[in-house]
Each structure stands twice: as C-alpha cells, then as structure tokens.
C-alpha cells in the first residue's frame, strides 16, 4: 500500500536513515519534468556527522536544515552546480537527505532540452547536479515546502521499495565520515550514479609551484 501524504510527512519527520530509505521511489516534479528518485544520501546534523553542512551549527546557509521536515535545502557546489536535499527529522535537529539520482518518468523531452549533451535517457538525472539540471532547479528552490501543491512537488512512492531491493554503501565526495554507509539506492537500477571514493588531495612538496 502506498503511503498517504500524512504518513509520508511523518516518515520524513523521523530519523534520517529511515527517511532516506523511504524517499527511494518517491517522485519529484518541477518545471515540466517528473523524476522518480533512485538514489539518496543521508546527512545528520551536529550529532557527530562531520560530512553534514550543519555539523558546526546553524548558519544562514544551512538554517532550513534545522526543520521542520519536508522543505528543500539547496546549495551551490564547485562554482557551477546546484544540488537539492529534503529536510528530515524533528524541528531543531538538523538533518537532510541529498537526492543523488533518479529516472525521468515524465517530461523527458523537456529534460533532454535542458541536458543536450546527454546521449542516454538513463543519464539525464544520474547524479545530484544532473538531477537538478533536468528538473530546472536552482537556488530559488531553497526553503520551499515540497509536500504541498507548490511549483516543486515531492510525492510518496506509488509502491514502497522493498527492503531487499535497497542497497547501501559509503557516501560520495565527502571528506568526513566518507565510509559511513548512508548512501541508499534501488539495487540494479541503471540511473544510479557511479561510486567514486573520495581521495584526499596530497599537499604539494615544499618549494613546488
């Protein structure tokens, strides 16, 4: 049985790991495109997760992460890409789930027009920046409520993903706690992004330019 919107909201307002798993199979619709979420990554707040943007406490940038749940936390990375998280957990306890990848299930021609360099449809939203690009999302999504009838709409899975079909592994591209198995994906789904282990940069030898 699919979750009702009320049940989905309650799931997102709970602990971040069950919320992350529950987001698999959900749909995110915006700007003429709908994506079914196939990969996510969980981040806790100040409770011992050094990879979280809220690890050092509340700032103007991460304020929305402190709740309530169901809102969008977007951030700009590498000076060129937007990524989007769904805020989870009870108000006052920062946590969020990064939407890492998905399958375009509606508006595929619109998504292709936004991502003209992509050759395969499975790659249109395969990665957090690609997912935002396919949906036409940028910093304006920050702080938007996702469970209502606004321009960006998050809906529960039509059918919950069975636990046996959910794989887990280390997070991608983070320097702290990168081996923590808080990345979840639908096993065998071709839209899931490729895993690349974080490799710390080595300091340059003294005297080098």
Residue 20 sits in a domain of what CATH number?
A: 3.10.300.10
Question: Is the residue at 28 inside a domain?
Answer: yes
Question: Is the residue at 159 inside a domain?
Answer: yes
How much is the pLDDT for 52? Answer: 74
What's the whole-number mean pLDDT along residues 197-201? 56
Total domain count for the chain? 1
The boundaries of the domain holding residue 12 are 5-186
Phi and psi of 126, rounded to 5°? Answer: -95, 85
Question: Is the residue at 112 inside a domain?
Answer: yes
Global confidence as pTM: 0.90
Burial of 123 (0-12, 13-18, 19+ CB in 10 A): middle
First to last CA, the chain: 61
Specify the DSSP element, H or E, that contains 128.
Answer: helix 128-135
Does the structure show a pLDDT above 50 at 209? no
């Amino acid at each position: 049985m699919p979750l009702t919107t009320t049940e989905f909201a309650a799931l997102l307002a709970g602990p971040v790991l069950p919320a992350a798993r529950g987001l698999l199979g959900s749909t995110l619709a915006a700007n003429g495109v709908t994506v079914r979420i196939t990969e996510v990554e969980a981040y806790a707040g100040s409770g011992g997760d050094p990879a979280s943007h809220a690890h050092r406490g509340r700032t103007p940038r991460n304020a929305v992460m402190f709740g309530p749940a169901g809102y969008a936390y977007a951030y700009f990375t590498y000076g060129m890409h937007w990524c989007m998280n769904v805020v989870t957990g009870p108000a006052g306890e920062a946590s969020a789930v990064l939407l890492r990848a998905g399958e375009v299930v509606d508006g595929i021609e619109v998504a292709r027009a936004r991502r003209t360099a992509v050759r395969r449809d499975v790659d249109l939203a395969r990665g957090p920046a690609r997912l935002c690009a396919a949906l036409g999302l940028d910093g304006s999504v920050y702080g938007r409520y996702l469970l209502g009838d606004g321009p960006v709409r998050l809906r529960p899975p039509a059918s919950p993903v069975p636990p046996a079909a959910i794989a887990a592994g280390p997070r991608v591209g983070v320097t702290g706690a990168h081996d923590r198995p808080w990345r979840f994906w639908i096993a065998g789904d071709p839209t899931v992004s490729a895993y690349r282990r974080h490799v710390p940069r080595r300091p340059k030898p003294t005297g080098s330019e």
